[in-house]
Amino acid sequence: MTIRIKVVEPQILAKLQEELLKPGTLAYITKAVEREVKKAESARPKDGAATMKRLEQERRKLQNLVAALEGGSSSPVAVLKAVLKAIAERETVIAELESQILSAPAPKAVANVEVTPAWVGTQLADLAF
């Protein structure tokens, strides 16, 4: 016995939609969606503020090292080499931070959706079969 997909598919999808709209299932889905919305909101980057702050700190350190190098011409060679090495390290960190800032995706606005059983029910009822 074979059943045509055209006949059985609408019946299966109607039963699935009926099950999804049951109060218990709807409450479960609503809680799961609320949890995921909160997780998405908390995981959203804070516009790179921390990276920008660290970049400014690294730039200040670099300026301090350059000032120390400029003012320390009578310093021993070992100290000058250490300062030059520190300058190179700061420049590398600054370049990496600038690259992170430039390559960071623009923050996406999370739609301010109030997740309620009625809203979830509407979304489930609107599924195109």
Instruction: Give 92's pLDDT tier (boundaries 50, 70, 90).
Output: very high
- Which tens digit of pLDDT belongs to each residue from 41-63? 776 556 577 888 888 999 998 88
- Which tens digit of pLDDT belongs to each residue from 73-89? 666 777 778 878 888 99
Instruction: Give 24's pLDDT tier (boundaries 50, 70, 90).
Output: very high
Alpha-helical regions (H) of the chain: 5-20, 23-43, 49-71, 77-103, 117-125
The closest of 45, 56, 47, 51 to 97, measured between CA atoms, is: 51
